[in-house]
């Protein structure tokens, strides 16, 4: 078969070209509105080639249009993905702004409950060494901040100012071993001192064994220490040990503030005016 085509390739090529030419000629006749007798003969003879040609043209046209359609869809998808990504980023920024505004509104509402003068501040740094539990806020002496000023949030006591710069201040967190707050048990009014013990835990010290203290009791500031208003939550009792020797109970307190998530705080500048 292959040798037959090789021997007669010129004849086959001429015949193919002739059929193609006549088919195209017939295609032209097919588009006429009126057919002559000769036109009908040609159309009859070339009805099969015309059918193949029409199908081929239809397939090529459909493939070509489909290709351009897919190219258009692909470009449109890329543009839509870029738009979605941009909208997603905008949405994240708007959500973060909404969250920040809510936190600030909560601070302002909380501040209005007290007669103390309080200044909102934003956390701009944390102690990376791990030796001291401290944070840095964006308010300093130029804003009226002074050493030992109390720092709180609506969630509870944060700590106290230990260093003051012109435009910033360092705050020692409640959980640091050098921290202490005069406190009372909210349920029984029993008095003690909350002392930091590191690792986000505190101890309620100097609580006599005769005092009624239970697990999950809420510990609040007594107001005796003028750094904090009275009644600010400090934490809850997490563990009690009355078996040790001595006069005092061993009480662990879990701070109410999650220090790792702090973003804004209130700095207590002074107590209510007594005049």
Q: What is the pLDDT of residue 84?
A: 78
Q: Is the pLDDT of residue 22 over 90?
A: no
Q: Copy the structure tokens of residue 73.
A: 């869809």
- Identify the weakest region by mean pLDDT among 21-35, 40-54, 147-161: 21-35
**Residue 13 reports pLDDT greater than 60:** no
The closest of 263, 240, 234, 266 to 252, measured between CA atoms, is 240
Q: Kindly give the pairing relationship between strand 264-270 and strand 202-205.
A: unpaired
Q: Name the phi and psi angles at 266, rounded to 5.
A: -115, 130
Mean pLDDT for the chain overall: 78
Which SS3 state, helix, strand or coil, does residue 251 take? strand
Is the pLDDT at 158 greater than 50? The verdict is yes
Tell me whether residue 75 is in a domain: no
Coil vs helix vs strand at 195:
strand
Residue 195 lies in a domain: yes
Q: How much is the pLDDT for 18? A: 47
- Residue 92 counted as domain residue: no
Q: Quote the number of domains for the chain.
A: 1
**71: in domain:** no
Task: Select the more confidently predicted residue: 203 or 35.
Answer: 203
Domain residues for the domain of 137 are 117-270
Q: State the number of CA atoms in the 13 A half-sphere of 74 facing the CB.
A: 6
Q: How confident is the model at residue 24 (pLDDT cuts 50, 70, 90)?
A: very low
| pTM of the full structure | 0.64
pLDDT single digits (tens) 218-267:
999 998 866 888 999 999 999 998 876 778 899 999 999 999 888 999 99
Beta-strand relationship, 250-255 and 134-137: unpaired
| Model pLDDT for residues 105-131, shown as the tens digit of each residue | 777 777 777 778 889 999 999 887 666
Q: Which helix (H) or strand (E) holds 119?
A: strand 117-126
CATH number at 170 reads 2.40.10.340
Q: What is the pLDDT of residues 244-256, one digit of tens each?
A: 677 889 999 999 9
Half-sphere exposure at residue 192, Cβ-oriented, CA atoms within 13 angstroms? 29
Helix (H, G, I), strand (E, B) or coil at 249: coil
Q: What is the pLDDT of residue 257?
A: 93
Tell me whether residue 37 is in a domain.
no
> Has residue 272 got a pLDDT over 50?
yes
Backbone angles phi, psi at 80, to 5 degrees: -65, -40
> What is the reported pLDDT for 25?
46
Asked whether residue 70 is assigned to any structural domain, the reply reads no
pLDDT, tens only, 73-85: 667 777 777 777 7
Please list the alpha-helical segments (H only) found in the chain. 2-7, 9-30, 37-45, 47-111
Would 80 be classed as within a structural domain?
A: no
Q: Which two tokens stand for residue 120?
A: 């909102």
> Is 15 domain-assigned?
no
For residue 45, pLDDT over 60 is answered with no
The pLDDT score that the predictor gives to residue 33 is: 46
């Amino acid at each position: 078969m292959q040798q037959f085509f090789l021997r007669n390739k010129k004849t086959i090529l001429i015949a193919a070209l002739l059929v193609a030419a006549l088919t195209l000629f017939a295609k032209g006749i097919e588009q006429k509105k009126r057919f002559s007798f000769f036109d009908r003969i040609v159309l009859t003879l070339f009805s099969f080639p015309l059918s193949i040609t029409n199908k081929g043209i239809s397939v090529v046209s459909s493939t070509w249009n489909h290709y351009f359609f897919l190219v258009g869809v692909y470009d449109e998808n890329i543009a839509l993905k870029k738009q979605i990504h941009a909208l997603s980023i905008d949405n994240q920024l708007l959500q973060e702004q909404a969250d920040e505004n809510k936190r600030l509104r909560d601070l302002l509402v909380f501040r209005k409950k007290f007669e103390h003068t309080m200044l909102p501040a934003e956390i701009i740094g944390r102690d990376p060494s791990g030796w001291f539990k401290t944070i840095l806020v964006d308010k300093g002496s130029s804003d009226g901040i002074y050493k030992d000023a109390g720092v709180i949030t609506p969630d509870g006591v944060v700590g106290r100012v230990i260093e003051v710069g012109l435009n910033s201040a360092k705050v020692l967190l409640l959980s640091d071993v050098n921290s202490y707050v005069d406190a009372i048990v909210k349920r029984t009014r029993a008095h003690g001192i909350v002392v930091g013990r590191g690792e986000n835990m505190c101890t309620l010290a100097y609580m006599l064994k005769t005092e009624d203290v239970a697990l999950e009791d809420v510990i609040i500031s007594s107001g005796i220490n003028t750094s904090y208003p009275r009644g600010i939550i400090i934490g809850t009792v997490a563990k009690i040990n009355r078996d040790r020797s001595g006069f005092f109970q061993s009480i662990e307190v879990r701070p109410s503030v999650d220090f790792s998530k702090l973003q804004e705080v209130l700095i207590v500048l002074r107590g209510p005016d007594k005049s």
